Amino acid sequence: MKKILMIILVFPLWAKADSVCDNITVSDQVYTCSKISLEESDASLNNEYKKLLSKVSAEYNSHEELKNEYIKKIKLSQRAWLNFRDKNCEVFSYQIEAGTQAYETSMNSCKDKMTQERTKDLVSIQNQ
C-alpha cells in the first residue's frame, strides 16, 4: 500500500518535471530543469561510484591491503574531484550575481556537465 501511495504522490512530480524540461518558456523552468538534471546526474554518479567500490572490493577480496589502498585512493580522488567541480563551477559562474536564480542555474548546469563526465570516468575505471 505504501508503494502505491508513493507512486501516486511522486508520479505527478516526475510528469511535471518532464513537461517543464520539454516546454521551457520562462526562466523559472530553466532553473527547475537545471536542478532536476543535476539531481539525475548526481544519482547516476553515486550509483557508478558505489558499483566501482563494490567491484574493487570483490576483485581484491583476497588482497586486503591492496583492496584498502585502492578504495582509499578512489575515495580521496572522488573528494578531490567534488571540490574541483564546485570550485571550477564557481569560476564558470563568477560573472553572475551570487544568490540569484541565474547564478544557481549556471552552477547547476556546470555541475551537471562535469558530473556526467565524471560518471563516464568512473565507468571507464570499472571497465579496465
Residue pLDDT, tens place only, 73-94: 999 999 999 999 999 999 999 9
Cell numbers for 58: 570483490
Residue 21 lies in a domain: no
CATH of the domain at 118: 1.20.1270.180
Residue 17 lies in a domain: no
Residue 111 lies in a domain: yes
Q: What is the mean pLDDT of the chain?
A: 88
* pLDDT at residue number 12: 42
Residue 10 lies in a domain: no
Q: Is the pLDDT of residue 23 over 90?
A: no
Residue 72 lies in a domain: yes
Residue 13 lies in a domain: no
Which domain, by its residues, includes 117?
26-126
Report the domain count for the chain.
1
Mind giving me the DSSP string for 7-74? HHHHHHHHHHHHHHHHS--SHHHHHHHHHHHHHHHHHHHHHHHHHHHHHHHHHTTT-HHHHHHHHHHH
0.85 surpassed by pTM: no
* pLDDT at residue number 100: 96
* pLDDT at residue number 26: 83
* pLDDT at residue number 20: 59
* pLDDT at residue number 19: 55
Residue pLDDT, tens place only, 45-64: 999 999 999 999 999 999 99
Give the mean model confidence (pLDDT) for residues 112-125. 98
